Amino acid sequence: MRQGDYEIQVLVHGRRVREYQHDGENFVEGRMSQQYKLRLVNHSPRRALFVVSIDGLSIMDGQSANRQQSGGYVVNANETADIPGWRLNDDKVAQFIFSEIDQSYAHLMGKPENVGVIGCAVFAEKGLVFAKFPEPWQPHPHFPGERRFGPDTRIKSRAFGATLGGEAESATVGTCADAVSQDVGTGFGEMADHRVTSVHFNREDQPACVMVVRYMGRENLTKIGIDLRAASKPQVAVVQPFPGNITITDCRPPTDWQGK
């Protein structure tokens, strides 16, 4: 999905998953047990902060996501960052994987209300905030004061933007009428390497854009009318990509999670 200079993609086996537009929303198919990554693309001439949530939880700390306060990944101008999982620490993540609802990270953490949505709020830079950059780094050939990275760029922002209070989350997805039951979630998968380090980034007071991608199994995509063979077109339930505030710095693994 792309809005203006910014883009978020869902990747499976390194390839972009097909997106479907329906009733003003964007959908992708979530296939059970498939691992996936999120690709963040910055087409703009300056670096940007991507604040990402899955199932209403920040991928940085596992808390209810708030687009004004949650941390995120800084992506340099005209570069991309592939994000493979929930942040565990500065070196490791738990991989994203499509799962049964009762095995989704949100469900296991007692917050299943927004399963089935990926949110991405993108902020332009205006000053200094504590954030995370990958290692190693090298000077950018055109901007010596900045850092340059390869195609697997990943940068983590731990601190919060200039507007810490913010207003109550107002973005909603879909309606409650004739809701389809969500049939797939995102689990807390195997541990994987994904190293980050710190940079300074001061986000603008308001996001440049907020992108929302819904994911469902094939049967539910058909039910809501994306497949023309569907007999009816019920609406999907309301879910929030950024439902709350955060106080913890990394994602807390579910009970009994062993990293594999």
Task: Please provide the DSSP assignment of the chain as one string.
Answer: -EETTEEEEEEETTEEPPEEEETTEEEEE--TT-EEEEEEEE-SSS-EEEEEEETTEETTTSSBP-TTTS--EEE-TTEEEEE-EEE-SSSEEEEEEEE-GGGBHHHHTT-GGGTTEEEEEEEEEEEEEEEEE-SS-EE-SS-TTSEE--TT------S--S-SS-PPP---BS-STTPBPP--EEEEEEEEE---EEEEEEE-SS-SEEEEEEEE-HHHHHHTTSSTT-S--PPBPPB-SS-S----SSPPPPTT----
In order along its 260 residues, the chain shows pLDDT tens digits of: 999 999 999 999 999 999 998 999 999 999 999 999 999 999 999 999 999 999 999 999 999 999 888 999 999 999 999 999 999 999 999 999 999 999 999 999 999 999 999 999 999 998 544 455 554 444 433 333 333 333 333 344 443 332 222 333 334 445 432 468 899 999 999 999 999 987 888 899 999 999 999 999 999 998 898 863 543 445 566 777 887 755 567 888 888 888 87
Domain layout of the chain by residue ranges = 2-223
